[in-house]
Amino acid sequence: MEPIAFVAASAEEAVAQIRARLGPEAVVLHVRPLPANGLARLWQKPMIEVLAHRPQTPPGEAAPVSQALEEFRQRLDQIEQQVKTPPGKAEAGTVLLPEFTAEVAELDTNGWRLGEVLQKTGLQPLYAQRVLDQVRRRHGDNAPASLREEIGLARAFLAAAWRPAQASPAHSLHAVIGPSGSGKTTCLCKWLTQAALVEGRLARVWRLDGATANMAESLTVYCEILHVPSERSWVTGGGNIAEDIGFIDLPGVDWRKAEAIQELAGRFRQFGAPRLHLALNGAYDISVTLAQVRAFAPLPVEDLIITHLDEEPRWGKLWNLVLGGHLPLRYLSTGQNIPGDICTASAEAILDHQFPVSRGVEKLVATNQRKAL
């Protein structure tokens, strides 16, 4: 079926039109704002245009409902649970030691198996050796009898090395930046939803153009659903905002071009001093991720947001950022669902995904953690 354009004054009206004409199996293809023309813009509310169609499905087979706005509403009542539950956490009662096939470098192990395990879960040899050396220094050269005990010692060391991100104070302005395709706008939407619905904060969003146009119309739609003001131009002076929290969204930049980073730095001078958060694709090879961190170093980035972790089983690679960088991690994101698929970054969230353990070994791990500390 050919796509049909629906024009409405709000997301709710668009949903009603689409459902009435195309039914519950409708699929949204595109959403864009339609500002009023001429003098009418002074009193008319901007309209939105939604492009949708009804996919053809074999008889007897129900088409999946992929209408983004409807899914958003259906998930609002689950927001608190989704925000508080770390994604990817293993269920109690399972024992899942690493079984990755990644190639490992030869380390100075002295009979310890921990170094190889750490590399297979994503640590580079340099940091795997550092963790192993620190664990051996605290425990002694002789390795414990079981691999789980070695992992328990490593968990204790890594947990102690964790540095949490700073809390977000009242009347704070935030900008989520990153390379194109890093998922930064999606994460901004997730963060905005948490701030507005869970924390009850008064928010405002600026969707601004950069060196290229900002085409993230979905951000404007989400703001409308949340009744959060969304601006297309910067109108406040000195970065001072009346709301509890503000968010700036800019197009992604080519991190390989120094001039693009410099242009972005110059653009932020007009916003006062917003708090910058760098969003990076966690499914990329860690060497690329570290190179991107270095590329954005000229900017006063405060912390990192790691995305696409649903595509990466080796969460241990995140320790390369913790041990080798100067930036803490703020959020871990595992998918496109808004709200949901995001949690506050913590050592526990990473370690539980890196080394899932059962209730039967939790006591052993806790004992080894106390000994190591």
**Claim to verify: residue 364 and residue 316 sit in the same structural domain:** no
Going by C-alpha positions, the residue among 239, 234, 246 that lies closest to residue 202 is: 246
Contact 90, 356 (CB under 8 A): yes
**Claim to verify: residue 193 and residue 276 sit in the same structural domain:** yes
Q: Provide the sign of the torsion angle of the four alpha carbons 194, 196, 200, 201, taken in this order.
A: positive
Is 130 inside a domain boundary? Answer: yes
Please state, in angstroms and rounded to a whole number, the distance separating the CA atoms of residues 345 and 1.
Answer: 43
pLDDT given at position 365: 44
**Claim to verify: residue 325 and residue 362 sit in the same structural domain:** no
**Claim to verify: residue 311 and residue 176 sit in the same structural domain:** yes
Phi, psi of 218, deg, nearest 5: -60, -30
Q: Provide the sign of the torsion angle of the four alpha carbons 284, 287, 288, 292, taken in this order.
A: positive
Phi, psi of 29, deg, nearest 5: -100, -30
Is 108 inside a domain boundary? Answer: no
Is 225 inside a domain boundary? Answer: yes
Please state, in angstroms and rounded to a whole number, the distance separating the CA atoms of residues 114 and 132.
Answer: 7
pLDDT given at position 41: 47
Return the DSSP state at 229.
-
Going by C-alpha positions, the residue among 192, 174, 183, 177 that lies closest to residue 72 is: 192
Using the 3D structure, point to which of 54, 74, 94 is the last residue of a domain.
74
pLDDT given at position 57: 52
CA distances from 43 to 139, 220, 231 (A): 72, 19, 17
Q: How many domains does the chain have?
A: 3
**Claim to verify: residue 301 and residue 177 sit in the same structural domain:** yes
Is 87 inside a domain boundary? Answer: no
Please state, in angstroms and rounded to a whole number, the distance separating the CA atoms of residues 54 and 6.
Answer: 13
Task: Find the CATH number of the domain harbouring 183.
Answer: 3.40.50.300
Q: Is 181 exposed, middle or buried (0-12, 13-18, 19+ CB in 10 A)?
A: exposed
Taking 50 as the pLDDT cut, the residues of the chain under it are 39-42, 58-67, 72, 76, 78-80, 82-101, 358-369, 371-373
**Claim to verify: residue 239 and residue 276 sit in the same structural domain:** yes
Q: What is the value of pTM for the model shown?
A: 0.70
How many Cα atoms sit within 13 Å of 146 on the Cβ side? 8
Using the 3D structure, point to which of 46, 74, 102 is the last residue of a domain.
74
List of residues 6+ apart from 352 with CB closer than 8 A: 86, 89, 90
**Claim to verify: residue 312 and residue 362 sit in the same structural domain:** no
**Claim to verify: residue 300 and residue 154 sit in the same structural domain:** no
pLDDT given at position 1: 60
Q: Going by DSSP bridges, is the β-strand pair 301-307/47-53 parallel, antiparallel, or unpaired?
A: unpaired
**Claim to verify: residue 151 and residue 190 sit in the same structural domain:** no
What domain range includes position 197? 172-345
**Claim to verify: residue 184 and residue 204 sit in the same structural domain:** yes
pLDDT given at position 90: 44
pLDDT given at position 301: 95
Strand order in the sheet with 275-281: 230-231, 203-207, 245-249, 172-177, 275-281, 301-307, 329-333, 342-344
Is 83 inside a domain boundary? Answer: no
**Claim to verify: residue 240 and residue 273 sit in the same structural domain:** yes
Is 84 inside a domain boundary? Answer: no
Is 329 inside a domain boundary? Answer: yes
pLDDT in tens, 146-178: 999 999 999 999 999 999 999 888 889 999 999
**Claim to verify: residue 219 and residue 240 sit in the same structural domain:** yes
Is 195 inside a domain boundary? Answer: yes
Please state, in angstroms and rounded to a whole number, the distance separating the CA atoms of residues 256 and 267.
Answer: 18
